[in-house]
A and B are shown apart, each in its own frame.
Chain A
Amino acid sequence: DAGVIQSPRHEVTEMGQEVTLRCKPISGHDYLFWYRQTMMRGLELLIYFNNNVPIDDSGMPEDRFSAKMPNASFSTLKIQPSEPRDSAVYFCASSMLTEANYGYTFGSGTRLTVV
């Protein structure tokens, strides 16, 4: 398995532009998570899905952020309009919460820079 695949790896955009981050979870995993990591705030859980349904989006900072999971193999995190304070590394993770394995697999992240 190729693991959790995120694209793009790096994104540089101008303030006010729309940004879309993409994630392909591991096949068979029924949970998908979006995280943001910054030096100041560490790793923050933004939203997570179970069977393509958003379960908890309380970590989404504001209405400029939205996430979708149209099917089991794809999710997007969109920021519109983007702001410099959105600059961070965004991680996607997936998991299959079986009894024997509660480990979560993270992607390599998307480093977003908003100028």
Chain B
Amino acid sequence: LAKTTQPISMDSYEGQEVNITCSHNNIATNDYITWYQQFPSQGPRFIIQGYKTKVTNEVASLFIPADRKSSTLSLPRVSLSDTAVYYCLVGDHNNAGNMLTFGGGTRLMVKP
């Protein structure tokens, strides 16, 4: 099971781009990288998932270097409503439980 390491917290200001990096040195060949967002009093919400290179959707971009030992979640032009905890998960799709082992997450605070 690949362990992930993320910064505990980050601060940003409205309108800025935020990049949260996750380290996963022991990532396995079949592992995918998934990011979730959690607001207070809510369950985690799927943001984005990738295997290699770059993935982009309407919410964020995910950058994964060739060695896949890390990944960076990029949030463009954050707003106050992006204040949340962001979790990076790594796991094999063939093991559903493996895919949902959460680490400590990164608490992002967006300031006006």
Residues on A close to B: CB < 8 A?
4, 31, 33, 35, 42-43, 45, 48, 50, 55-56, 91, 93, 95, 97, 102-109, 111
Contacts and interface: CB of A to CB of B under 8 A. Distances in A.
Contacts of A56: 97
Contacts of B87: 43
B100 A45 contact: yes
B44 A48 contact: no
Given A33-B100, A55-B97, A42 B49 contact: no
Contact of A104 (B32, B100, B103): B100
Given A42-B102, A45-B101, A97-B96, A109 B42 contact: yes
A69 B56 CA distance: 36
B77 interface: no
A105 B46 contact: yes
A106 B97 contact: no
A108 B34 contact: no
A86 B108 CA distance: 28
Interface in B19-77: 32, 34, 41-46, 49
Given A42-B102, A43-B102, A102 B93 contact: yes
B59 to A, nearest CB: 12
B94 to A, nearest CB: 9
A56 to B, nearest CB: 5
Nearest to A43: B102
B7 interface: no
A108 B42 contact: yes
Contacts of B93: 97, 102
B104 interface: yes
B68 to A, nearest CB: 16
Contacts of B42: 106, 108-109
A48 B101 CA distance: 12
Nearest to B103: A42
A106 B44 contact: yes
Query: What 6 A-B pairs are tightest by C-beta distance, nearest first?
Result: A106-B43, A103-B46, A43-B102, A56-B97, A91-B43, A31-B96
